[in-house]
Amino acid sequence: MRFSESFTSLHSIKQKLAGLSHTDLHQAKQGKWSVIQHLYHCWMVERGVLAYIKLKTQDPSALVHVSVVTRLKFTFFFTTLRLGILKVNAPEVVQKFPSEMSTADLILKWQKTREQADAFFVDFPENDAKKGIFRHVFIGRLNKRLTQQFIQLHLRHHLRLCRL
């Protein structure tokens, strides 16, 4: 299975965007992000997660096991987020948007990021995949499967926020 296989497909996102006007895509509502900003943020998160994993897995001996507490925190985090109990501000690095954003350019960049992630994980050692390859600021160290779930749930969350 490809690393990005469980993520909302870019084809599906493109189809949803096709029905939106330029104004619908770029207009921020009530001080919140615009649709294109939500999507740009999600791409930056995927790109950042991949960069972090590539860096941290260079020394497999430094990887730690994922605890049961981390798994519980993961479930609690996304459940409370989904229920609207929890509101989290994104780190600064993934909320800096260019002044001009094109959906076509974003989709191309996003596709490239997903291809790079899929290629990176093709021969990734299963033993290392079970260890904490990514560190989420609130949840802690996530293994490959939890990292995939994080990206999947994060994207779904933002698609709901921007009503896609």
Q: Which residues pair with 142 in a beta bridge?
A: 134
Distance CA 145, CA 149 (A): 6
Q: What angle do CA 113, 111, 99 make, to 5 degrees?
A: 80
- pLDDT above 90 (res 29): no
Break the chain into its structural domains and give their ranges: 10-15+46-161
Q: Are 151 and 131 a contacting pair, CB within 8 Å?
A: no
Mean pLDDT of the region 52-77: 96
| pTM greater than the 0.85 cutoff | yes
Question: In percent, how much of the chain has pLDDT > 90?
Answer: 86
How high does pLDDT run on average in the chain?
A: 95
Give pLDDT tens digits for 81-131.
Answer: 999 998 888 888 898 999 899 999 999 999 999 999 999 999 999 999 999
Best CA proximity match to 75, nearest among 131, 156, 142: 142
86 — phi, psi (to 5°)?
-110, 135
What pLDDT is recorded for position 35? Answer: 96
What pLDDT is recorded for position 91? Answer: 87
Mean pLDDT of the region 71-77: 97
* 3 state SS of 141: strand
- pLDDT above 90 (res 68): yes
